Structure 1
């Protein structure tokens, strides 16, 4: 009886694992931004990954422009061995996001999917709002009296953050 139960449990676990990771192959297009492969992609462009991206994202991208931008990205030593976050930072720092619009969208799409899978929607919304308002916050921080800024921080930290749970 225990042997049969063991096989049923193992079978159920294997089915769940297969179901959970069945769409993993559909996300292979993320290798377009895998910086360790840039040298290989410079020699032979990974054309097989663009249809996968198209099937997932549809008309979100201009695929001809994306391919051209990726060819430039792969051939530039400035971008080699940069992870996705460093790539976005470098593009923002040098104003390249307007020149690499499709690659920039692809990097943000990759970051967004990663964050969506690892964070709740409320936290993701808060982080995106903070990112959008960061420049305004820095401007306010530099123009306001430091004592006001410190009082806001003290007020924030003085608030109770724990929820009182009462069990009956």
Structure 2
């Protein structure tokens, strides 16, 4: 059975159609993989991300129009690999491949348009891009504020603009904050939440909305590792805590490096909780 499976796999891999599909998706993934890495980064420049999305979609469209050059490369690859096909049906096979090639790329293009159609609505994330506070202190970008119209009932835009201009001009903020999370922590630390209430609401919104699906994907990946057969009866609270520990491993490592007694303090808190068993050192 095992040898027959291997022979079946080898037969499939030795077919021209397999080479065709591999080369088709390779040309697509070469571009989409680069776009994936851009979107998975914690970038606040939505304009840059939108431009990369448009560039990727243009590349997919150019690939769709360039079937002839693609098919020439495919034939050269098949000759190199020793994959031959019936000369009599060569033209029919080419026409069928052209149809499939066009359909595959059209489907990818449609899916990308549907997925990223409203991506520009996240333009307001750039309002709290701490790396560009100096530039924004010189010229406030009202277009980014306009993308918040979806949340208009939650904001006083006049006060929000005033709050943001004040933050942009602060040397303390520009020197110490590199991300919205750091900025929010700084405002809390210095008890400034009531001073810039609209900016606080914007920061909370930005930190809640994920520009990409990376955080969601990480949670599902962690769940597969945690929710095993032996842990099937783990309650929701513990499962959630384990997932946070797994997803935020890098942050835990940094906490350990910055605070040598971090693990000991966590252990002490855990031991102090009411449990059915006593933790007694003998």
Mark the CA change 1:28 to 1:151 in structure 2 (over 3 Å): closer, same or farther: same
Aligned mates of 1:22, 1:40 — CA distance in 2? 28
Mark the CA change 1:78 to 1:6 in structure 2 (over 3 Å): closer, same or farther: same
The offset of 1:151, in angstroms, is 7.5
Partner of 1:100: 196
Superimposed CA distance per residue, residues 96-155 of structure 1 (whole angstroms, 9 cap, x where no aligned partner) = 1111111111011011112995337x99xx68xx9xxxxxxxxxxx9xx87842775x99
Aligned mates of 2:131, 2:143 — CA distance in 1? 18
Kindly name which structure, 1 or 2, has the bigger radius of gyration based on alpha carbons: 2
Partner of 2:40: none
> Is residue 19 of structure 1 aligned with residue 142 of structure 2?
no
Higher relative contact order (CA 8 A, sep 6+): 1
Aligned mates of 1:115, 1:21 — CA distance in 2? 11
May I ask how many residue pairs the two structures share in their alignment?
135
Partner of 2:272: 149
TM-score by length of 1: 0.69
| Structure 1 residue ranges, 4+ long, deviating more than 2 angstroms after superposition | 115-120, 145-152
Q: 25, 33, 39: which one pairs with 2:134?
A: 39
Question: Any stretches of 5+ residues in structure 1 without a counterpart?
Answer: 131-141, 156-168
Aligned mates of 1:7, 1:34 — CA distance in 2? 40
* Residue aligned with 1:48, SS: helix
RMSD (Å), alpha carbons: 3.1
The offset of 1:18, in angstroms, is 1.3
Matches within 5 A, 1:53-68: 53-54=148-149, 56-68=150-162
Question: Any stretches of 5+ residues in structure 2 without a counterpart?
Answer: 1-95, 220-235, 245-264
Superimposed CA distance per residue, residues 20-76 of structure 1 (whole angstroms, 9 cap, x where no aligned partner) = 11111111111000112211111111112222112x212110000000000100000
The offset of 1:3, in angstroms, is 2.1
Matches within 5 A, 1:127-146: none
